[in-house]
Amino acid sequence: MDRSKDSASLSSFLAGAKHISTVTHGRPDGDAAGSSASMVSYLESCRGKDAVALFPDPVPENAAFVLDGLKYITDRDEAAGRLQSTDLLICLDFNTLSRVEGLVDAVRAYKGPKVLIDHHEEPDTASFDLCISDTRVSSACELLYEVLLGMPDIAGDPSRLPAAAARALMTGMTTDTNNFANSVWPGTLQMASGLLAAGVDREDIIDRLYHSERPNRLAAMGEMLSGRMKILPAGGAVTVLPQSFFDRHGLLDGETEGFVNMPLALKDVRLSILAREDGDFFRVSIRSKRGTSARLLAKNFFHGGGHEQASGGRVLIPQDISCATEAEEYITGITARFLQENTAVKN
């Protein structure tokens, strides 16, 4: 897709800035880490900028390799301090400032120009000075790849991208497509082809992402599949993970990434929900097969949103439930009703 106008607009913002920071959503995933790392790498190597990636929370261990050799901050106080000397803030992989979570107050207080590069629906365009948004891509990394190709110093040639940027872009796209299992567009495969031709070692990326598990994660996965997952007659799967589950298995941030996709391997399951306790709320991840809207469920019942087959939201305490022990019954009831109504509409 022609991103020349977007590239030119971003380039004009970059020209007037020396100290640039990126920021992404709370609990960053591979796409958040990959888009942040690739942007910082490009800014340093190709534009000579002082560039730093800011994260509200630590990056998952299996994706942190994309940040090797780059400047980044995961301490919230330090990140807030960096914003005070930032000339330009580039916001990646989120559509509204509330998703920055632990850094939201600092980001809202930031008075400089803000650029958004994102692939989620309904971006809050009023909060940004430049909004580059498209839902017809697999990931923020794919959108950023197309924008960077349009830069005059890259000139459409992926081999001109810094090696660290190219690797990070491939990594983020791979995780957000669940290794090409969903959200794959024609441009996604063109991106993969271009990066492979540019020398990206995809096998190394796959090893780091998917073949470097700790035994803790596998033990947790076994308990989830054998004792935590509930299959509903209407074609849903609900998994609720209390804090005690994470404590018992000693899980690190990001180690349940991908768990929500597993129930969809079952023939009759068309919607999977995984909820994990996080203080005074539950984080809800929703995945679905084509024809069932994860986005609608998240938007209407879980204070969230996202894509048709991949969305997220929250169950709030005490607004939705009075205590954490009510989460499973609450989520199961909503999911069963949604699936029944969805089936009724289809019929």
Average of pLDDT values for 327-347? 84
Domain boundaries, the chain: 4-210, 215-346
What is the CATH architecture of 4-210?
Answer: Alpha-Beta Complex (3.90)
pLDDT of the residue at 237: 98
Query: Other CB atoms closer than 10 Å to residue 167's CB: what's the count?
Result: 27
CATH fold of 215-346, please?
Diaminopimelate Epimerase; Chain A, domain 1 (3.10.310)
Question: Is residue 344 over pLDDT 80?
Answer: no
Q: In which band, very low, low, confident or very high, does the pLDDT at 343 lie, cut at 50, 70 and 90?
A: low
Contact (Cβ atoms closer than 8 angstroms) between residue 96 and residue 124: yes
Which amino acid, 216? N
Q: Dig out the tokens for 16 from the structure.
A: 């007037």
pLDDT in tens, 294-315: 999 999 999 999 889 999 999 9
pLDDT in tens, 33-45: 999 999 999 999 9
On the CB side of 16, how many CA atoms lie within 13 Å of its CA? 9
pLDDT in tens, 64-117: 999 999 999 999 999 999 999 999 999 999 999 999 999 999 999 999 999 999
Enumerate residues 6+ apart whose C-beta is below 8 A from 242. 277, 324, 327
Question: Is residue 347 over pLDDT 90?
Answer: no
Q: Is 50 exposed, middle or buried (0-12, 13-18, 19+ CB in 10 A)?
A: middle
pLDDT in tens, 229-255: 999 999 999 999 999 999 999 998 889
Question: Is residue 182 over pLDDT 80?
Answer: yes
Q: Dig out the tokens for 89 from the structure.
A: 């803030």
Question: Is residue 331 over pLDDT 80?
Answer: yes
